Amino acid sequence: MKKEKIIEGLLKFSALVTILTTVGILYVLLSESISFFSEVSIWEFITDKEWTPLFVNKHFGIMPLVMGTLLTTFIAVAVALPIGITIAIYLSEYAPKKFKKIVKPLLEILAAVPTVVYGFFALMVVTPFLQSFIPGMSGFNSLSAGIVMGIMIIPYVSSLSEDALSAVPKSLRNASYGMGATRLQTAFKVMVPAASSGIIVSVILAFSRAIGETMIVAIAAGQQPRLTANPLVPVETITAYIVQVSLGDVAHGTLEYKTIFAAGITLFIFTFILNNISFYIRKKFKEQYD
């Protein structure tokens, strides 16, 4: 009895610590941002097309950072989505069980490689390689960073999508094969639709991961806030900006310093929305199945 009480207490305590940490982070983010927005209007923050808080001629338009973030993220997802889903379908519908057992954890290693390694890989290998046939490409660019980030998030898509496909009742696959459907038809007409919510959730998670990724973009995409959709020129993402200021010599408490909290809360809003979408889809999916 006593032992159970202690364990229960410990569990409660850990839950509390997690919640308190989240609340604490939110508190700091919010209070610093509020103080930032008392000096810079939200309107300016959203509509100004330049982000130059560290220059003499200061502009506080977040859009260049948002654009840099979205550009690298979309490139990453464009790489990870088709490859990840193809792998998931192959593993769940075609590959022998033994092969799957070996390959799935191997793929997951991709997500475990330190991101700083990916960053240098993008900068030192991928960019020079791409430059050899894209002449105008800068040394820092969102394309290589995005591609390499895409490789990193492949296992998020492939593993979670594979889980979703494997969770589809076997009886559905049998029903389809029994009708004379081929493996390919069964995969695309029955399995993928039946697992669609899980697959979508996996993609959203990969999205979230790419938006928050810092090291790769900080190293390989550059540190020049620029409102552009051109993947060949340097850009700066929200995360890379936060690192730049955190590591720099900006004095604490100044407006320049507070910009990282405004940028941080923007990032937070993005991931918060994505998490909620995936939560909502998961909930709906559960209802549909029982």
Partner 1 sequence: MENKLEAKNVSVFYGEFQALNNINMKFKENAVTALIGPSGCGKSTYLRLFNRMNDYVDSFRMEGEILVDGNDIYNKDVLVDELRKGIGMVFQKPNPFPKSIFENVAYGLKIQGIKNKAVLKNRVRKALQQAALWDEVKNDLDKSALELSGGQQQRVCIARALAVEPSIILMDEPTSALDPIATAKVEELIHELKKDYTIIIVTHNMQQASRISDYTAFFYMGDLIEYNKTDIIFTNPEHERTQNYITGRFG
Within residues 19-78, the interface with partner 1 by CB under 8 A covers none
Out of 41, 174, 254, 275, the residue judged to bind partner 1 by CB under 8 A: 174
Out of 39, 180, 251, 252, the residue judged to bind partner 1 by CB under 8 A: 180
Within residues 197-226, the interface with partner 1 by CB under 8 A covers none
The one-character DSSP state at 51 is B
Interatomic CA distance for residues 6 and 96, integer angstroms: 46
Instruction: Quote the least distance from Cβ 107 to partner 1, whole Å.
Output: 23
- Would you count residue 287 as binding partner 1 (CB under 8 A)? no
What Cα–Cα distance (Å) separates residue 130 from each residue in 12, 145, 229? 52, 12, 18
Out of 9, 82, 139, 193, the residue judged to bind partner 1 by CB under 8 A: 193
DSSP string, 153-172: HHHHHHHHHHHHHHHS-HHH
Which of 217, 242, 236, 240 is CA-nearest to residue 127?
A: 217
What Cα–Cα distance (Å) separates residue 8 from each residue in 18, 19, 214? 16, 17, 37
Query: CB burial class (10 A; 0-12, 13-18, 19+) of residue 35?
Result: middle
Instruction: Quote the least distance from Cβ 219 to partner 1, whole Å.
Output: 44
DSSP string, 263-278: HHHHHHHHHHHHHHHH
Closer residue to partner 1 in complex, CB, 58/100:
100
Neighbouring C-beta atoms of residue 284, cutoff 10 Å = 10
Closer residue to partner 1 in complex, CB, 38/288:
288
Closer residue to partner 1 in complex, CB, 4/290:
290
Segment lying near partner 1 (by CB under 8 A), choices 14-22, 73-81, 165-173, 269-277: 165-173
Out of 35, 166, 185, 244, the residue judged to bind partner 1 by CB under 8 A: 185
- Would you count residue 177 as binding partner 1 (CB under 8 A)? yes
Give the residues lining the site for partner 1 (CB under 8 A). Answer: 96-97, 169, 171-172, 174-182, 185, 189-190, 193-194, 288-289
